[in-house]
Amino acid sequence: MITMDFLASVFLSGLSLAGIIGLMALGLGLIFGFQFIFTFAQAAFFSLGAYVGFNLMKLGLSFWVALPAVFVFVGILGMLTERYLLSRFDRSDPASVLIFTVGLGLAIVEIIRWTQGLGIKFMQLPAGLDGSIRVLGSMFPAYRLFIIGYSGVMFIVIWLFLNKTPIGLIIRAGISDREMVSALGINISRIDAIVFGLGTALAGVGGFITAPILILQPDIGTDLNLLSIVVIIVGGMRSFGGTVISALVCALLATAFLIISAPLSNIVIFLFMGIVLLVKPGGFFGEVTRYEH
């Protein structure tokens, strides 16, 4: 018997999943939209964020200090990656960058495995968020609500960053016409590093806030990375609103079928993506630009 309580808790679980994969997808979409490169290393940066945060908390830092620290650390690492490695590649050859990021991801995950050991680790829930709260008539873990709230705030902050700041203006301009922006005398390679750093930082904090509700292991990011790929394909690669809505739709769909069985939920999600690509090749809110066919 499916009760209202049950439906409410499924809905809220779906929302928290939407927050996590939405953050990852937003990073992926920003990088692809601005730089026309697709990275498979997001899963590794997700794990890296989780492990860096875990170790910072083990050193005695509070969750609230570790959170921005992870964002900054993974972001700077992403910026360095772009500046010294990815910027060497020819933009007309996205396949090389793609395969390069596969290698990068392998290396990062193995370094994590090397330094952290193979043992399974559990991250403590931050103090104050370890209880349950009554929402919509049913008890719900407070930490899940925190994930929903935090990712909502992050979406708003990034929207403000893109729409109300000078750098955001350049990024949006670059997404619609990259060559024109550099023709106007703007040093676009510096912006590249910022965008890539922001993208990886979003994956990193995503990993950190997800770590307490999952078992911490070096390849923790793989499945969620695949889900975030579905999100940006369904939503359209370079649409902010599309990514957010698509994250909600995909996460609710996945959570709804998760009740029946985990493999079935994944089958539905990937079938959904296949159908969307057939019916609307650019995703629901995107369009196919002249750079992709």
Partner 1 sequence: MDVFRKALKRVGLVNVSIIAILLLIAALPLFTTYSLGMDVLIFGLFAMSYNIIHGHMGQVSFGHCMFFGLGAYFTALLLYWLRLPSQISWIYLPLGVTGATLVAILVGTVVLQRRGIYFTLTNVAFQQLFYFLVLQLKGITKGDEGISNIPVPFDLMRLPLFYVSLGIVVGAVFLMKRIFIDSSFGLVLHAVRDSEERTQFVGYNTFRHMLKAYVMSAMFAALAGGLYVMHLHYVGLTMMRFELNAEVVIMTVLGGARSFIGPLIGAAVFYVMKDFITSNVGHWQLILGILVMAIIMFLRDGLVGRIKALKF
- List of residues contacting partner 1 (CB under 8 A): 32, 38, 40, 85, 88, 94-96, 98-100, 102-111, 113-114, 222, 226, 229-230, 233, 261, 263-264, 266-267, 270-271, 273-274, 277-278, 281, 292-293
107 vs 80: CA distance, rounded Å = 16
Nearest to 103 by CA among 56, 151, 159, 39: 39
Q: How far is the CB of 41 from partner 1 (least distance, A)?
A: 10
Torsion, Cα 18 23 24 30, to 10 degrees, reads: 130
165 vs 159: CA distance, rounded Å = 10
88 vs 138: CA distance, rounded Å = 53
Q: How far is the CB of 117 from partner 1 (least distance, A)?
A: 13
Torsion, Cα 209 212 216 218, to 10 degrees, reads: 0
Residue closer to partner 1 (CB basis): 9 or 101: 101
Q: How far is the CB of 230 from partner 1 (least distance, A)?
A: 7
Residue closer to partner 1 (CB basis): 138 or 266: 266
Token pair of 80, please? 């360095």
Residue closer to partner 1 (CB basis): 168 or 281: 281
Residue closer to partner 1 (CB basis): 182 or 266: 266
Residue closer to partner 1 (CB basis): 110 or 130: 110
Burial annotation 249-282 (CB, 10 A radius, 16+ → b, else e)? bbbbbbbbbbeeeeeebbebbeebbeebeeeeeb
Q: How far is the CB of 132 from partner 1 (least distance, A)?
A: 32
Q: How far is the CB of 92 from partner 1 (least distance, A)?
A: 11
